Amino acid sequence: MPNRSKDSRPVRAGLYTRISWDPSGQGAGVERQRLDCEALCAARGWEVAQLFEDNDVSAYSGKPRRAYERMLSAVQEGALDAVVTWHNDRLHRSPKELEGFIDLVEHSGLRLAVVTGGDYDLTTPDGRFTARIVGAVARKESEDRSRRVRRKHLELAERGKPSGQLGWGVRSDAERELVREAARRVLAGQGLMTIARDWNARGVPGATDRPWTAPTLRKALLSARVAGLREHGADPSGKVLGSLTPATWGQAIDRQTWDHVRSVLLNPERLTLRNTPTKYLLSGLIYCEVCGGRMMSRPRDSHTKRYVCAGRRPGHQLGILAQPVDELVARRVLDLLSTPAFREALLSQSGRTDDQSLGRALAELGSAQSRLQTLDDDYYVRGTVALRRYRSIRTKLEREVERLHATVDGASKERLVLHPDCRAFWAEADFGQRRELLRLIVEGVWVLPARRGARFDPSRVKVDVPLSALVPLDRTG
């Protein structure tokens, strides 16, 4: 093969190196490949124009290979005359990718040199045939290796052993106590961000040696290991449990508590509320009595918060100071919750869930989630379930999981209503907990027009609370 391009300049070669797994991050594998590729270029008199390195990236997994994509772009732009790689399977383990590369070679006249296994002239039928044979063998090897790895992980999971190092939450007694603390605070309605900020202020080491965030804390509490369980084949989102086996390490919290924490954290309503930034306690609950429209948060300046009607009627725009309205509604709710008759009526209307019923619902939820993942294993790993039957059973199990989540979520809300000292709870609660409590009790807050010259008139505010007629209190709070 000539060592110069058509215009008599040295062949510009791009070196492509890749290794699928590099847990140390040192890149020793790709470094050895690079040295061998450079030696081949030197022997042929080619100029090393660019180096493209995908370290710790599998060609079989289908994940993007950024360096490979940059190399293709360089070829298309005419910046390379040849590609040099250590072995053909470093470039491709997918027939689809190989065919795309062959098309590129045919259009650009690109040369391909391989350190081990011999070169492939992809511009000829025989060269393409050989490359496809080698690619098919490499694909089969990757599939076999993937199957063996999945089977090994399943075996470790069934024996309750970890597949690597233990994660945060069960490595020490101190971590187990932190898990128990976080679980108590979550079940009391406290937000993950509040807990994370508190732990960072206290200097609690993070799970990844970085400061705590709501996502990292959420991931740790959703993990089965904190309940002394070994999980296999979990949904990447954490919403669906994998197969669970008693683990060889100790638990931080019991199974029922963990199931309850999971149900709270995975509640779609909770996620929506937490992801919607708001600094106003009554956002979404306060309305204009004149036009019936929802009032929006609109500060007068950086220090004065206000609720303002968008004004559906011409020339009408009603507003009110936020702080006194928030305080008035909070007093009204706390007065009601301090009255046994109201609490009992509220719980009777929604249907009380006792501890025994909650335990049964959590057990059924965990069982349904485990059956869901066992079904996935039977289909994807063991191959013992046909596709039609798999889809039918999975649909039924997903509906059951949703129903049980709703039952457990109702019990979580009752915890707020049944708190023995609602005023103490309010004083210690974070912003998210206070909003959650108000949303459970208040159906709406209606604001009337102001009298001229009045700064704040409590009679302008009507708090709409169900069953409040049972309590001898003024409607304005």
What tokens were used for 51? 């180096």
CA distance 353 to 362: 12
Are residue 450 and residue 325 in the same domain, yes or no? yes
Mean pLDDT score across all residues of the chain? 77
CA distance 430 to 423: 13
* % of the chain surpassing 70 pLDDT: 70
Residue with structure tokens 């937000």?
191
What tokens were used for 172? 């020490």
Check residue 23 and give its pLDDT.
47
**For residues 235 and 361, which has the higher predicted lDDT (pLDDT)?**
361
CB atoms within 10 A of CB 176: 18
What tokens were used for 81? 């005359």
Are residue 297 and residue 424 in the same domain, yes or no? yes
Check residue 93 and give its pLDDT.
65
pLDDT tens digits along 79-119: 999 999 988 778 876 777 778 888 888 788 888 888 886 66
Are residue 62 and residue 178 in the same domain, yes or no? no
Are residue 142 and residue 179 in the same domain, yes or no? no
pLDDT class of 412 with cuts at 50, 70, 90: low
Whether 212 and 198 have beta carbons less than 8 Å apart is answered as: no
What tokens were used for 45? 């008199």
Are residue 146 and residue 181 in the same domain, yes or no? no
Is the pLDDT at 469 greater than 70? The verdict is no
Highest mean pLDDT among 16-30, 250-264, 273-287: 250-264
Which of 152, 184, 210 is where one domain is finished?
Answer: 152
Q: What are the CA-CA distances from residue 162 to residues 224, 241, 248, 338, 361 (Å)?
A: 12, 17, 8, 49, 29
Residue range 73-78: mean pLDDT, rounded: 90
Are residue 125 and residue 32 in the same domain, yes or no? yes
In this predicted structure, which of 45-59, 213-227, 303-317, 323-337 has the lowest mean pLDDT?
303-317
Is the pLDDT at 414 greater than 60? The verdict is yes
Q: Which secondary structure element, helix H or strand E, spans residue 134, and what is its range?
A: helix 125-158
pLDDT class of 260 with cuts at 50, 70, 90: confident
In this predicted structure, which of 186-200, 264-278, 449-463 has the lowest mean pLDDT?
264-278
pLDDT class of 49 with cuts at 50, 70, 90: very high
Check residue 304 and give its pLDDT.
80
**For residues 140 and 244, which has the higher predicted lDDT (pLDDT)?**
244
Are residue 194 and residue 336 in the same domain, yes or no? no
Our count of domains for the chain comes to 3
pLDDT class of 415 with cuts at 50, 70, 90: low
pLDDT class of 276 with cuts at 50, 70, 90: very low
Are residue 16 and residue 135 in the same domain, yes or no? yes
**What CATH code is carried by the domain that includes residue 99?**
3.40.50.1390
Domain range holding 445?
286-470
Residue range 116-138: mean pLDDT, rounded: 68
pLDDT tens digits along 299-320: 776 678 888 887 655 556 688 8
CA distance 75 to 14: 9
Check residue 403 and give its pLDDT.
82
pLDDT tens digits along 239-248: 556 667 777 7
Which of 103, 120, 152 is where one domain is finished?
Answer: 152
In this predicted structure, which of 77-91, 112-126, 332-346 has the lowest mean pLDDT?
112-126
Check residue 344 and give its pLDDT.
75
